[in-house]
Structure 1
Amino acid sequence: MIQVAAAIIENEHGELLIARRRSGKSQAGLWEFPGGKLEGGESAPACLRRELMEEMNIDIEPYALFGVNDHWYGNVHIHLIAYKASYVKGEIVLIDHDECRWVEPESLADFEFAPADVKFVRMLESAPS
């Protein structure tokens, strides 16, 4: 099982940050909530702060567990841990993604998400405004 953390990052306008995986990466062309693999002994919030700085050059503040999802990509088991997070600072520089967007929660259905992230998209779509 691979433990992965995803950040549901909200800006001051209530928009969420989504990113599209670049060509050559697994799940290329699909959108996701950014994050990455937990390193040994690392908490999900610490992983998200590290990964978002490494992959997007931004500082975030994870503040609440949003949900977990176990997903199998063939024989690979992903345990995805999502945290709500606030955007703190930094100008986005993409490393593992070829595009990112700030979108309204109700617009999430317009994007094709990686299968492991779909559960969180549905949760956000059904959340009260």
Structure 2
Amino acid sequence: MIEVAAAIIHNKEGQILIARRRQGKSQAGLWEFPGGKLEAGEDVPQCLRRELMEELNITIRPTGAYGVNEHNYGSVQIMLIAWKAEFLEGEISLSDHDEYSWVLPAELESFVFAPADVPFVERLLKESC
């Protein structure tokens, strides 16, 4: 099982950052909370800070665990570990994604998310009511 960290990043306006996986990547065209695979000896906050800088060129501050979801994609099984985080700074530059959007929690239902991210989307929608 592959451990993957995902950041639910909030900005000062109360919006959440989501990104769409580019063509050629697994789950291409689906939206996700950005993050990446944990490396050996790395904890989730370290992984998220590294991945968000590498993939989006932004600095975040992880603020706390949000949940864990295991999902079997057939060829690979992942454990998606979600953490809430605050956006600190940076001009977004995409490498693994072809689009990004800052959305209010209630707007998340307008996007098609990767299956592993769906439980977190559902929870955020409930919390926004």
TM-score category, normalised to shorter length: over 0.9
Q: Which residue of 2 aligns with 1:32?
A: 32
Matches within 5 A, 1:61-72: 61-72=61-72
Query: Any unmatched runs of 5+ in structure 2?
Result: none
Aligned residue pairs: how many? 129
| Offset at residue 30 of structure 1 (A) | 0.1
**TM-score, normalised on structure 1?**
0.98
Identity across matched positions, percent: 64
Q: Which residue of 2 aligns with 1:51?
A: 51
List per-residue Cα deviations over 1:43-71 (Å, max 9, x = no partner). Answer: 01100000000000000000110000000
What's the C-alpha RMSD, in Å, of the aligned pairs? 0.8
**TM-score, normalised on structure 2?**
0.98
Q: Secondary structure in 1 aligned to 2:79?
A: strand
Tell me which stretches of 4 or more aligned residues in structure 1 moved more than 2 Å: none
List per-residue Cα deviations over 1:57-90 (Å, max 9, x = no partner). Answer: 0000001100000000004110000000000000
Query: Any unmatched runs of 5+ in structure 1?
Result: none
Q: Which residue of 2 aligns with 1:76?
A: 76
Q: Indicate yes or no: 2:118 matched with 1:126.
A: no
| Offset at residue 41 of structure 1 (A) | 1.3
| Offset at residue 128 of structure 1 (A) | 4.6
